[in-house]
Structure 1
Amino acid sequence: MSLPRNLCHGTLDEIVERGGLTEVTGADGGPYLELVSSAFPGGQAPVGEARVFTGDSIAKVVYVGLAVPQIGLDSHMVFAFCPADVAVPHFTLDSVQGQGTYAFHLDLIPRADLGTHLPYLDWAHTPLDATYEEVESRPGLMKTAIGPRQFAMMSPWMLVHRAEDEAFRGISDAVKAYLDHWFSLVEAGVPAEVVADVADTDLAARDARNRTNVFSPDVDKVWAQVERLIGHEQTEAVRGLLLDNCPPEVSA
């Protein structure tokens, strides 16, 4: 497997196994969505897949993979969503190779406003300080150029970099650190003092609005690139999987 695929699939496998998740398959028993493209000569050709998993303490996991050698693209993304009414942040990893350059995005997405909820911030995010600061100082990593507007939807601990080969090969330890911390939150449950701290927040309503923004084509321009590759209908089907925790319907 490619380096981006290996990193993302290894992370996905751990989430599924440790979280006791069940895959929602397509009508043929394969991935929920098989993604095809008509952007190249020869008609529609398979270029990727979207897989969906559901569970309890981890409500929904969505994996999207696109591998298109014609344009040098090998992209893999996993989002792991906690229940809408629970304050545990969501986990996300993007792992990409595009035209010979590696890139990754790693974060725990906040479920409450960090500027007004210090106990929540210290529980959910500050344990990542050492990993974040160490990764930020590594050679071979260059900050990915995304704007403040998109950053505002995520956390200040988001790691989002382009990477040289050796630096990308070494990033798995940071992914493991973020994932292990996230699982510690998932498995231990939300402490009473954190529940009290975020009691002023309608967690489900905020989550719905935040996910609408995070996955908005107006905010994240990558959706325009995806649409050029797989078309509007498939792109909207993938986006729809990410907007809420509802299990998708499987056609007969």
Structure 2
Amino acid sequence: MILYPAMDLMGGRVVRLRQGRFDDATAYAADPAEALAEFAAAGAEWAHVVDLDGARAGEPVQHDLIARLAGTAKLKLQVGGGFRTRDQVARMLDFGVARVVIGSLTVKQPNLVRAFFEEFGAERITLSLDVRIEGGMPLVVASGWTEKSALSLWEAAALYPEARHILLTDVGRDGMLAGPNFALLEEAVKRLPAAQIQASGGVSSLDDLRRLGTAGTIVGKAIWDGRFTLAEALDACA
């Protein structure tokens, strides 16, 4: 399983949100470039970087910073936050980002997202499907989790049979250190066999990592808060 240590950026600083709430952010002292260097030194091959300001604004805000980070980082970057156009995606890939994460557009503009797959290829695009569990059904939410779509997780995923990488977040677990939604993740692995599922939200222990059966996992708060080291997490995922 590939471990993606997460680094969320707000105003050029590393932060973590609680359940996606911008008014409930914890800031960390780490310099973004130094943090990526430490990830690489610990043995990580990937990092997951999010422009939170861009995600909130619906347009690039810190993409220049992320482009500079991509030019110096010694690991591959998967980057999300504020991508709305073909040129924004192309620019980030040209700067050396390995994959761009597409979130709200997956349910708002599926034709545009399919065009991304056609032009850039399935290995360069990660679909981010954020869900809220209602009545036992995982319903996709968008726009910083403030808008509920009419689509279930399974309906949204069916729009993209070509997708190779799907980042799945149960928003009720994100930033809560309450453990992943294992039942949902296990169902996703079974129902979406062509996709590499990345689990996101809730990892709080090394046992959580050992239990996951997904192709990858995003881990942020547990590492930043010192629940375990990145080296320990990488070992648990091996």
Same fold (TM over 0.5): no
Give TM-score, length-normalised by structure 2: 0.29
Larger Rg: 1
Which structure shows the higher helix fraction?
1
